[in-house]
Amino acid sequence: MSVEDDKRLAAAAAVAEVLDGMVVGLGTGSTAAFAIAALGERVSRGLRVQTVATSIATERAAGAAGLTVRDFADYSMIDLAIDGADEVDDRLWAIKGAGGAMLREKAVAAAARRFVVIADGSKRVAAIGAAKVPVEVLPFARSFVVAQLATLGADVVVRPGYATDNGNLVADCRFDPMPDPRVLARVIGKIPGALGHGLFLDEVDAAYIATNGIVARLERDGRSD
């Protein structure tokens, strides 16, 4: 079993939760792409759903897969969101945003009645903190925000030549070690010009993680199978 096979299995398990008539949020990145493909296959067999996309790239991929994509701006709530993660632990704390869409992903996740993360086994960790924490930054406040992030103990690198779909910058922050994630999330959220970050501590309801062809499901209430 390859990593790509595991991503595909995790995605298929999550997409199995989609019911007829749902509005489904679609994440961004290589693992989320497998969910888009799996959902497209189900739609081709008669499933009726509508989707919202967390990035321009996802919107295009969803359209190519035969999915109906709506404007998230018109929704205050959706039924289900499915996305990948850079790291996830057994508390269902996650770091996301390697694909640069974490601000939109967090908005869609927060609006979802249920938010499910999909990953291969390499993304499951004992405790999040090794992955870089991306922060979406208002270009006007770039130097100020970077300096504030550095005071938190981060090694900060602004992605060169990169802009989010919102027209903003991304500052990747590596912490060694990571401070308390809840405190860190709260402090970053208070920095003027820091528009969002990749710490997902309360949003994830469940995770499907595939390792060597075996899919494990973790639930927020502690259940697993």
Q: Which residues are catalytic?
A: 105
Token pair 């189900």 is found at 42
111 CB contacts (<8 Å, ≥6 apart)? 25, 72, 75, 76, 77, 78, 81
* Residue 47 half-sphere exposure toward CB, CA atoms < 13 A: 22
Q: In terms of C-beta density within 10 A (0-12 exposed, 13-18 middle, 19 or more buried), how is residue 63 classed?
A: middle
Tokens of 42: 């189900």
Picking from 97, 105, 57, the residue whose alpha carbon sits closest to that of residue 78 is 105
H or E element in which residue 28 lies: none
- The radius of gyration computed from the CA coordinates of the chain, to the nearest angstrom, equals 17
Asked if residue 192 has a cis previous peptide bond (ω within 30° of 0), the answer is no
